[in-house]
Structure 1
Amino acid sequence: METLASKPLLKNALICAALGCVGDSVAQRRESMVRARAKKDASAKVKKTAKGREVAADDDSHDFTRTLKQAMYNFFFYGPAQHYWYIQLARWFPGRAFAMSAESLAPFGAKVFLNQAVLGPVVVATFFLWGAVWSGDVSGYPAKVRRDALPTLRAGWSFWIPASSVNFALVPTRHQVLYMSACSIVWNVILSLNLNKA
């Protein structure tokens, strides 16, 4: 039986799916805290528990279906897309980690630019489509893209440009998907918040 290490595509898809779960869970927790703070600020009704602590009358629970949706997207699309994308970028623009020279500047810049100009929009568009299909509201997809795609990309760029710069300058090619997948916890929070906002 082959080990997971000998199946890099499967390994990258599984890692990406697991980190998608983490990212969505963080996003849901953040949303829950924002709602709780808003209710508290608006003097929402609270009830006393048997121990005398105050809790919100309508406490939020984790939406496991939403987390599954994120994990499945990451497993079936985002993880494999990253796997092949970084292999292709390395072929088009060969370079080595820590190769800080004038010759390495152009390939480095091209990789950072293409990562944001190509991969970012593809991921946002397909993730919003995934959410529309999952919810059964494909007719709302064009309006969702018009309203939320650019703000989502802008939020992503503020994080991904520095993260991908580190990736392409310092991380060996064989570890780039792992590094970017670890960074994608933040990206998954951004995607989840933007997909699920009203």
Structure 2
Amino acid sequence: MHVLGGGGHGGFWGWDSLPKKPKQQRKRFDSKSSNSVEANGGPCFRFPLKQAVTAGSLALTGDTIAQLRDRWRKANTLDQQSSGSTPTSQDVTQVLLSDHDWLRALRMTSYGFVLYGPGSYAWYQYLDHALPEKTVVNLLLKVLLNQVVLGPSVIAVVFAWNNLWQGKLSQLPDKYRKDALPTLLYGFRFWIPVSLLNFWVVPLQARVAFMCVGSIFWNFCLSSTMSK
């Protein structure tokens, strides 16, 4: 209305009383629609779609590599036991393109999309907010927190997610006892140097993508552990 009326005291067409009520209504509407923090009484959550898609895609890639390796090993072992010869290229192609476990692939992809992508994005934002200065001490603290908080959380969640999909929640405690600690300790050797590079060199907006690229290897390890 100020644009149409030139912004003077008369408002639109010199009417002074009419704009008051619409102005108040518009103010309430704008504050309610644009400022969700005040309207909802809490912070506005935006689902990090880009990070979720990236994590889901790379989780699928890691699982695919794991499945291809498992089928290759199985076919190679069976062929050598039956004929004592190396499998031909036609046999290899047939093995690699058949019997893909799409449900297993969906489990890992949904884990990356729903849980790992959004969760790790929020975690890295929190670390940068809590430790904003780029110092050696903060770098080491971030790496340490990443290993003692995010690492065990990821393993706990992915094990539970996998058993939930398979309807084997009753077997989850045994899965934790058997595989959680070895997986975590193995992950330390990989993720500590990757985390150092991630926090020291990679900007915040690219950290989930960078860690997800590293997760191709890690998802390969997780997927192999899940299939045991």
Query: Do Structure 1 and Structure 2 share a fold, with TM-score over 0.5?
Result: yes
Give 5+ residue unaligned stretches, structure 2.
Answer: 1-45
Q: Which residue of 2 aligns with 1:187?
A: 218
In 2, Cα distance between equivalents of 1:171 and 1:152: 26
Q: Which moved more, 1:174-183 or 1:68-77?
A: 174-183
**Matching of residues 1-198 of structure 1 within 5 Å:** 9-41=48-80, 43-44=81-82, 55=91, 59=95, 61-96=99-134, 104-197=135-228
Q: Which residue of 1 aligns with 2:41?
A: none
Q: Identity over the aligned pairs, expressed in percent?
A: 38
In 2, Cα distance between equivalents of 1:65 and 1:125: 20
Give 5+ residue unaligned stretches, structure 1.
Answer: 1-6, 47-51, 97-103
In 1, Cα distance between equivalents of 2:47 and 2:120: 11
In 2, Cα distance between equivalents of 1:125 and 1:148: 10
Deviations 1:17-69 (A, max 9, x none): 0111101001111111222233244x1369xxxxx97738x945211111111
Letter in 2 for 1:69: R
Letter in 2 for 1:94: P
In 2, Cα distance between equivalents of 1:160 and 1:144: 22
TM-score, with structure 2 as normaliser: 0.72
User: Structure 2 vs 1, CA of residues 184 and 45 (structure 1 numbering), >3 Å: closer, same or farther?
Assistant: same
In 2, Cα distance between equivalents of 1:36 and 1:22: 21
Give the alignment's Cα RMSD to 1 decimal: 2.1
State the structure with bigger RCO (CA 8 A, min sep 6), 1 or 2.
Answer: 1
- Offset, 1:156: 1.5
Letter in 1 for 2:142: K
Q: Which residue of 2 aligns with 1:4?
A: none
Letter in 2 for 1:86: Y
Paired residues in the alignment total 177
Letter in 2 for 1:17: G
Deviations 1:47-96 (A, max 9, x none): xxxxx97738x945211111111011111111111110000010111134
